[in-house]
Amino acid sequence: MKVAATLFAVAAADTCSLYEIADGSCGQSDLDCAYTKYAKAAEKALQDGTCADQGYTVKTGTQTKSYPIIGDIVITTYTQGVEATSCSGTADPAGLGCYEGSAGALGLTETVKLNLLEVNAGSGKLEFTGSGIEGFTCSEKTYTKSGTDITLSDLTDCLPAHVTVSKAQYCSDSDSMKVTVKDDQIPLPVTATLTKVACAGRDVFASCTGDADPVISGETCYKGSAGALGLTETVTVRVKDFADSAGHIDFSGDGIEAFTCTGKTFTKSGQDITFSDSSDCLPSGIVVSGVKYCSDSDTMKITVKDTAVPLPISAIMSKIDCPASIEV
């Protein structure tokens, strides 16, 4: 009876899961909780939890490693579902078209929209946008194609400094595309599988173009919203006057954290607008990190950075009828 009780206790010993993510793959080990400290000492990158909790759910294989004290440990490797989706078929796209898809990691989601503008044998032209983790727009970019792989022309002029498109593919068997976006502020790359959709208006791909001065004959207002991590910031701007590349402005934000700044001066050079010091009206940790006026569309783009949120929020603001006052 005593032997049976002992065997039962061993069988019921607590099992703990450890995982490590590297090179787009997650390795998970399930072992007796008494040995986790030794495993972590041997492999410094191990963390408590499962690969499934991190979005890695497609099993790709197993391997066995031996460690002192612990013995043999079986490591099961997984990839994310979107990465495991095969890309087959090397034919060129049949013609012009639009593609859209979303993918995520760590609770963050990026939506990518792509428009094929020209299709030739092994080359062409496209434009694409991303929204969610961080917004970007790349217009009129050329590409070359070899097999399923697409090589894009230089994107540094349209992507944020910490964002790269690390891989792009066209999968002719399914008439779909795969785009992998890497953001240095997010520990995992995000691969979106884009399926063919009805083309929307070109305005969805519109970038901030035109550096002419705004025509301000009276108070003029702009408003827009954007968000990330399930949070949304709405920004309202009131341009009170403008002449000789300078003017006065009120602006407010509401959503992630409310703020109101009034009577601020600003200067304009090209598209870029520079506000006077706003530390007296912005909450601690809030910074307006960039403002642009896009004269071709008569819109404004403002980026607000909150140290409490790991990603900057960029809002495209369209012209609206001015409210009686800017309040939040």
The residue whose two tokens read 């601020």 is: 264
The answer on pLDDT for 134 being more than 70 is no
User: Lowest-confidence range among 80-84, 108-112, 204-208?
Assistant: 80-84
The rounded mean pLDDT for the chain is 79
Burial label for 71, CB within 10 Å (0-12, 13-18, 19+), is exposed
Within 13 Å of residue 305, how many CA atoms lie on the same side as its CB? 8
Q: Where are the beta strands (DSSP E) in 147-219?
A: 149-152, 163-171, 176-183, 190-197
Q: How many residues does the chain have?
A: 328
65, 72 contact by CB (below 8 A):
yes
pLDDT tens sequence across 5-25: 332 333 335 889 999 888 667
Q: Can you name the residues that pair with 8 across neighbouring β-strands?
A: none
**Euclidean distance between CA atoms 231 and 222, whole angstroms:** 21
Q: Band of the pLDDT at 267, cuts 50, 70, 90? A: very high
Give residues with Cβ within 8 angstroms of 254, minimum separation 6.
233, 234, 328
Q: Which two tokens stand for residue 315?
A: 């809002």
Burial label for 155, CB within 10 Å (0-12, 13-18, 19+), is middle
For the chain, give the percent of residues with pLDDT over 90. 23
The amino acid at 196 = K
**Euclidean distance between CA atoms 185 and 183, whole angstroms:** 5
pLDDT tens sequence across 26-77: 889 998 888 888 888 888 888 898 888 776 777 777 888 877 767 788 888 8
SS3 204: helix
**Euclidean distance between CA atoms 155 and 162, whole angstroms:** 12
**Euclidean distance between CA atoms 164 and 204, whole angstroms:** 20
Q: What is the CATH number of domain 85-205?
A: 2.40.128
The answer on pLDDT for 169 being more than 80 is yes
Output 257 or 272, whichever has higher pLDDT: 272
263, 248 contact by CB (below 8 A):
yes
Q: Band of the pLDDT at 180, cuts 50, 70, 90? A: confident
Q: Where are the alpha helices (DSSP H) in 18-72?
A: 36-42
DSSP state of 54: G
pLDDT tens sequence across 186-197: 666 777 888 988
Mean pLDDT of 285-302: 83
287, 308 contact by CB (below 8 A):
no
CB atoms within 10 A of CB 295: 16
Q: Which two tokens stand for residue 119?
A: 């299709």
